[in-house]
Amino acid sequence: MSSITEGNAGQYGDSRKLAARARLHTEYTIAETGWFPWVAAQLLLKPADRVLDVGCGPAWFWAATAGLLPENLHLTLADLSPGMVDEAVARAAAHCPSVPCEAAGPMPPHFPSKTAPSIS
């Protein structure tokens, strides 16, 4: 295992350390619009888009923006950490049950050019 993947496993083996950092942002932010809704507005997703989220973490983004998502979105959630992928798929199933979702490891799966997904 390289030092990069070892470091990632220590930091992102699951969502606990990320949650501690996220809590600081939540408690001390002065932004009028939350980070996740702001990002969602920039993506300009359309119905039936296919989205590849590389480095999806625990999929908090998709849970937080479920009510803003267009119809028939298709998500592929990819992360270097298997623990994050497991958590992400479970969270997406719970919060975005109408959004078909597949899991992937760190390398983006092959997408034929005509079905290239949006990249978040």
Ligand X SMILES: C[S@@+](CC[C@H](N)C(=O)[O-])C[C@H]1O[C@@H](n2cnc3c(N)ncnc32)[C@H](O)[C@@H]1O
* Pairwise CA distance, residues 102 & 52, whole Å: 10
**12 interacts with ligand X by CB under 6 A:** yes
Stretch of residues binding ligand X (CB under 6 A), selected from 26-34, 50-58, 64-72, 93-101: 50-58
**Which of 82/100 has CB closer to ligand X?**
82
Helices marked H in 44-102 — which ranges? 60-64, 82-95
**62 interacts with ligand X by CB under 6 A:** no
* Pairwise CA distance, residues 96 & 63, whole Å: 7
- Contacts with ligand X, residue ranges (CB under 6 A): 8, 12, 18, 54-57, 60-61, 78-81, 84, 106
